[in-house]
Amino acid sequence: MKPFTHLSGNAAPLPIANIDTDQIIPKQFLKTVSREGLSRGLFYDFKTMPDGAPNPNFVLNRPAYASAKILVAKENFGCGSSREHAPWALLDQGISCVIAPSFADIFYNNCFKNGLLPVVLPRETVDSLLEQAGGPNHVFSIDLEGQTVTAPDGKTHHFEIDAGRKASLLAGLDDIGESLTHAPAIDAFEQHRKLTRVWLG
């Protein structure tokens, strides 16, 4: 998992509430455990016309947002079924931060386990950020260490984040990586166990 420290880039506005995980990555794209190539299914029903052609009106299909690194959305983002492919698909698209007034719990937790930063800000603030993301200058800056989002208008907005999750993102550690930081202590325990409880093998 890549460390997340600072991020600066285009933000794409997606002013829709209650976007569920089946809208983020529809079920037909869940047949793989690979994290690569999932961007093909990201928001498939939004970005694709019934005949299979790209929908020119969908924000991520517009040239100005094709390389967006940040997504600004409405409340309850990521609701629906538990789907780790959802953050995988966003990351495969190049999006590593989602800003919204609220997130569904399971999606929110999955983001941290995969290196995607979910930022919760007040609804009024997000409404302003959505408007700015839709404007001619939609470059945002995220500072995880300082816990701030700097908008195109120059205003800086502070967000809260659990200290442990913040430390893991900054270090680029998922659950396995976090466990491996304790490898010396684990090895010492195993050696001690072999010497004191030989009957366990």
Predicted TM-score (pTM) of the model is 0.87
What value does the mean pLDDT of the chain take?
Answer: 90
Asked if residue 73 lies in contact with residue 100, where contact means CB atoms within 8 angstroms, the answer is: yes
Distance of CA 21 to the CA centre of its chain: 12
Q: Which two tokens stand for residue 198?
A: 């030989």
pLDDT at site 173: 73
From CA 85, how far away is CA 174, in angstroms rounded?
16
DSSP type of residue 77: B
Task: Tell me the per-residue pLDDT of 6-51, one tens digit each, with 9 for 90 and over.
Answer: 999 999 999 999 999 999 999 999 888 787 899 999 999 999 999 9
Confidence of residue 175 (pLDDT cuts 50, 70, 90): low
**Residue 118 φ/ψ, nearest 5 degrees:** -95, 125
Residue extents of the structural domains in the chain: 6-174
pLDDT-wise least confident of 4-8, 121-125, 142-146, 183-187: 183-187
What CA–CA distance (Å, rounded) separates 8 from 150? 9
pLDDT tens digits for 81-140? 888 899 999 999 999 999 999 999 999 999 999 999 999 999 999 999 999 999 999 999
Which residues, in sequence order, are CB contacts of 80 under 8 Å at separation 6+? 20, 21, 22, 23, 104
Name the class of domain 6-174: alpha beta
